[in-house]
Structure 1
Amino acid sequence: MAPQRRGAPKAPEGSGAAERRRPSSVKSARAPREVWSKWLRAAVLGTCATLAALLLWGSLGGDEVGTEVLAHRGEVLSGRFMEVPCSEDYNSHRRFEGCSPTRCGRGVSDTVITRDEALRIRSIAEKGLALGGSGGGASILDLHSGALSAGKHFVNLYRYFGDKIENIFSEEDFQLYRDVRQKVQLAVARAFGVSASALHLTKPTFFSRINSTAARTAHDEYWHAHVDKATYGSFDYTSLLYLSDYLEDFGGGRFVFMEEGANRTVEPRAGRVSFFTSGSENLHRVEKVRWGTRYAITIAFTCNPDQGIADPAFT
């Protein structure tokens, strides 16, 4: 789902006191270079998938393919689900009974997260991204690893800002983040008929901020078609929580499921959750943002407990 990024040089360590007060997830986080080198390896695999996706897109006519709106910005959906045949992507990965996708598709709901919750969690993204930001149009904030876009690179905001980070985020921020993640996880489990306890949060799970600034590097080019499981093998189920409104906060930036005959779009609105199985049955892209700023959270789940990550938390 995300623009693929390069690793960042290791930022300076905070003081010993800062280390003691830093979120527990930071104590176990690897240096930014190590974290993002793994992302870079995933990007190589993703590049291959992207090339295949672009060839398919071209064979389907690209933007000339008809478009149907799966979820209009003016609708309030209690739940809309479209089932599609599962791809063979999952066969090359370890399968987990009762969790690995056997029913594939994509869904949208406006009743999982309230608009107020969405705007409150957007403020977390705004506070964090105010500390950095990409020189191109797409910026990333990962509260789990601490990765933050900074120009053409990344820094670990917990290490880089040390104890000053406690002046930016609060325990209430992290509790809201955990509550929202749990609600999304329950919604995904219900939609696909699996146990919520069988799903494990996986990386990368992150905030994104996209605007119309011209891309500075290839990693700012978020609009290319791709398959999540080809890019990140741990992904089994992908979800997006939108934190801003299409045609009010930004233009362009719709989410597009690409398929033969007619692409299907999701128009973001604050509080809307879109979710789907992560294989090539859900080839997708994001339209270029033409104006304004688009905020969202990508929340990914795996069935493999060895690839799970913990929620960020203050200690």
Structure 2
Amino acid sequence: MQEIKKRNIRDGNDLSEKNKEQLVENDKIIRDPGQPSCKKNLSLRVFSRMVVISSLLIVVYFSTKEEKIKIFARQTDILVGKGEILECSSEYLKDVDKYEGCFPKECKRFVTDKVISIRETEELLTIAQKELQLKSSTEGITTVEFSNNLNVYQITKEKIKYAIVHHFGVEPSKIYMARPALLSAIKPISHKKTSTTFNNYWDPRTDNDLHKSFHYTAVLYLGDYDKDFRGGRFVFVDKKANKTIEPRKSRLSMFTSGSENRYYIERVTSGIKYSLTFYFTCDKQFNV
């Protein structure tokens, strides 16, 4: 019996020594970065951190991008009037300063859905479609001069003129409609087309740079963004954040034509966008 007890004690001691050795070996594996299992754990941790950092960077990038484009006038809103006062460009002020009574009270942009009626707009759209039918290209932008003596056109022209007179503080007898009044139809462009076959309407521009006689610009939209066409939004190019106008049938946009209102039009991706653009001048010799 004593012999059995001695043997058990000896075997127990041997087991204890083996357990100690195993614990020491395990501790070496954990502490030794050269072991394969440790390398795998480190790789997983590094990869996880990279994924988290990348995700944060993507969120920050797109959040910043969205902040740089602001909707100034949504298609779904019916605006009695919405404006923004701007600092006039020095070139524009120098030009209009020559014409007494035509100097703007404030350089600005103004949008309203209450000047031209839906009925008047639909009549103008019918005329526009007929005018552009024979001249319209299959792709890109087509513009024709609107020289029409129809009653609806004359009424529309006078309403827009007096809207500019009211909102910009101009004397009615000192502002004139300049040529041309433009009907525009914009269709999607295939990737096969080259830039030499159409006007690059998506390039930023200033109306007063296009023609020095242009001092006030008005755009009347004859269709609805995201219904009659997609794309084709009007974008004012500003330093802090671009301001976007989403076209709405009968929506009228008016603005001073200097570089304070530099703009471009987004590419139309489907449907046809119809609009009518009027230019007004302080220089009587350019009166239509």
TM interval, short-chain normalised? 0.7 to 0.9
Identity value in percent: 36
- Residues 1:199 and 2:202 aligned together: no
Task: Please report how far the alpha carbon of residue 135 of structure 1 lies from its aligned counterpart in structure 2 after TM superposition.
Answer: 5.0
State the match for 1:79 in structure 2.
81
Residue type at the aligned position of 2:245? V
Does the alignment pair 1:289 with 2:268?
A: yes
**Cα drift, residue 203 of structure 1:** 1.8
2-structure distance, mates of 1:218, 1:82: 36
How big is the shift at 1:65? Answer: 6.5
| TM-score of the superposed pair, with normalisation by structure 2 | 0.72
Structure 1 residue 193, shift from structure 2 partner:
1.0
* Offset at residue 252 of structure 1 (A): 0.7
SS in 1 for 2:78: coil
- Structure with bigger gyration radius: 2
- The one-letter code sitting in structure 2 at the alignment partner of 1:81 is G
- The 5-angstrom pairing of residues 253-292 of structure 1 reads 253-292=232-271
Which residue number in structure 2 is paired with residue 40 of structure 1?
A: none
- Partner residue of 1:111? 114
Within 2, Cα distance between the matches of 1:108 and 1:221?
25
How far apart are the structure 2 equivalents of 1:77 and 1:102? 22
What SS does the aligned partner of 2:272 have? Answer: strand
Task: Kindly report the root-mean-square deviation, in angstroms, between the aligned alpha carbons of the 2 structures.
Answer: 1.8
Helix, strand or coil for the counterpart of 1:73? coil
Match runs of 1:1-315 below 5 Å = 66-93=68-95, 95-144=98-147, 174-214=150-190, 215=193, 217=196, 219-309=198-288
**Structure 1 residue 175 displacement after superposition:** 1.5
Question: Which string of whole-angstrom CA distances, capped at 9 and with x for unpartnered residues, describes residues 123-157 of structure 1?
Answer: 1110011121135410012133xxxxxxxxxxxxx
Q: Contact 1:235 / 1:302 at 8 angstroms: preserved in 2?
A: yes
Does the 8 A contact of 1:100 with 1:236 survive in 2? Answer: no
Equivalent residue pairs, number: 220
Q: Which runs of 5+ in 2 are unaligned?
A: 1-64
* DSSP-derived class of the 2:71 partner: strand
Q: Which moved more, 1:65-74 or 1:226-235?
A: 65-74
How far apart, CA to CA, are the structure 2 residues paired with 1:70 and 1:210? 22
Give the match's secondary structure for 2:201: coil
> How far apart are the structure 2 equivalents of 1:196 and 1:250?
36
1:74 match: secondary structure? coil
Give per-residue Cα distances to partners, 1:156-187, cap 9 Å, x unaligned. Answer: xxxxxxxxxxxxx8x6xx21111101111111
For residues 226 and 134 of structure 1, the distance between their equivalents in structure 2, rounded to whole angstroms, comes to 23
